[in-house]
Amino acid sequence: IGSDTLTAFAKYVCGFRAGGFNTLVNNPAYLAYDSEEAENYEIGFKSLLLDQRLSVSASVFYLRLNNAVIPVEDGLFTPFQNAEVAETTGLEIDLTAQVTDELSLIASAGTYQNSIENPVLDISQRPFAPDYTAALAANYEHPLSATVTGIARLGFRHRSGGILIGPD
């Protein structure tokens, strides 16, 4: 659904990650892992405002991973192992403002709720999945000649929460 300044969207995506073998492990139980299947549902909108100088977008999503592939510690190695189900629900918002013809400012933020169902692995959320993200950036582009443009970018990104790796 769309217009010149507002677009609404909904999408469904399914995916697959093949299983495999961990070649370097201390625990023989970690030798093989099964395939992972993903389903992702998302709805959101994108809007152009102020003579298309301000872009605003937001979306909410739900991701379900069946047989989720999780990195776990095994001594010196980090093999993969399967969890039963991993779920993530999230909200993401992005703003881009074209302040001048040469300067644009960008801000984004996201919040996520992660969980894992698995009686074997002693973790409650997917490794490397943050609880919150935020980013700010400024882009400056200035033509130096008819064929060369100078670009300067200053940015800041932040991720918080989450765990680094599964248990051993």
Give per-residue pLDDT as tens, 55-97: 999 999 999 999 998 888 888 888 888 888 999 999 999 999 9
pTM: 0.81
* CA separation for the pair 78, 167 (Å, rounded): 10
Burial of 84 (0-12, 13-18, 19+ CB in 10 A): middle
* CA separation for the pair 17, 80 (Å, rounded): 12
Give per-residue pLDDT as tens, 121-132: 777 778 888 999
Other residues' Cβ atoms within 10 Å of the Cβ of residue 65: 23
Q: Which residues pair with 135 in a beta bridge?
A: 108, 157
